[in-house]
Chains A and B, each alone.
Chain A
């Protein structure tokens, strides 16, 4: 199934991101800026979940290696230099999963959420999709780009 192009999708990504950062990442105002300017800074990793069913698309979180270590460090309650690659994948994937689950709840239903996947942004492709909306969270001076994509076959995130 593909999305009806006439369907207007209204998702408040800023509000969802704020809820997630506030609950899990101690997103105090002093270190977090929501709806931050998108400076187009290069990102290294993308964590995504796919939505399949009445809504077809992906929720993607992209950030730098340093930012991903910061997330893992806080979620695992460890020092940044102690986190492993597996820790980073788990933490960033779960961040995408929580954001995706909350986004899915305001999209047409029923649909199912995939398990998260994390890979280098240079290897991720979502052919046949269009960007519905995006927001940038600036946390600890690092940008996290949260993007909702629409369309494409359900398994079209082609990692290498």
Chain B
């Protein structure tokens, strides 16, 4: 499977990718995007099987990215990895069609719990 990791922080993209490996998901292809707009382009070009996106990014936020994808008819499985996990944001994410939110800081165990059903 191909996973798109979208986060404006280069170090956080590395941490997410490292944690995917530590969680046992090392055999998947990873593509990266530094903001929501780049992620939208990448979804169209790379056709990932899963998007793991930060919420707060320049150019296009994670929730704007999700809305744009769904408005264009794209149903790629989408989850947020974000430092903010308020009830309001969870409700917005679910209403927009996201699977779930993973809050930062996270561990490999969190990734296994949340992603095993999708990534196998």
Binding site for B on A (CB under 8 A): 19-20, 22-24, 72, 75-77, 87, 90-91, 93-94, 97-102, 104-105, 109-110, 113, 115
Q: Which of B11, B18, B86, B105 contacts A23 (CB 8 A)?
A: B105
| Chain A residues positioned under 8 Å from B105 (CB to CB) | 19-20, 22-24, 98
State A104–B9 Cα separation when bound (angstroms): 19
B106 A23 Cβ-Cβ under 8 A = yes
CA distance A24 to B105 in the complex (A): 7
A19 to B85 Cα, complex, angstroms: 15
Can you list 14 A-B contacts with CB-CB less than 8 angstroms, sorted by A residue number?
A19-B105, A23-B105, A23-B106, A72-B11, A75-B11, A76-B11, A91-B11, A94-B11, A94-B12, A98-B105, A101-B82, A101-B84, A102-B104, A109-B88
* B30 within 8 A of partner (CB): no
Interface of B (DSSP majority class): loop
- Tell me the nearest residue of chain A to B8, going by C-beta: A115
In the complex, the answer to whether A105 meets B84 with C-beta atoms within 8 Å is yes
- Evaluate contact between A100 and B14: CB separation under 8 angstroms: no
Within 8 A of A (CB), among B78-111: 82-86, 88, 103-107
The answer to whether A104 and B15 touch (CB under 8 A), given A97-B9, A115-B8, is no
**CB-CB < 8 A to B103: which residues of A?**
101-102
B binding-site residues for A, Cβ under 8 Å: 8-12, 14-15, 18, 56, 58, 82-86, 88, 103-107
A100 to B83, CA, bound (A): 8
Smallest CB-CB separation from B83: which chain A residue?
A: A101
- Complex partner residue of A90 from B9, B18, B56, B85, CB under 8 angstroms: B9
Given A24-B15, A115-B56 in contact, is the A104-B84 Cβ separation under 8 Å? yes
Distance, CA A104 to CA B107, complexed state (A): 21
B85–A105 touching, CB < 8 Å: yes
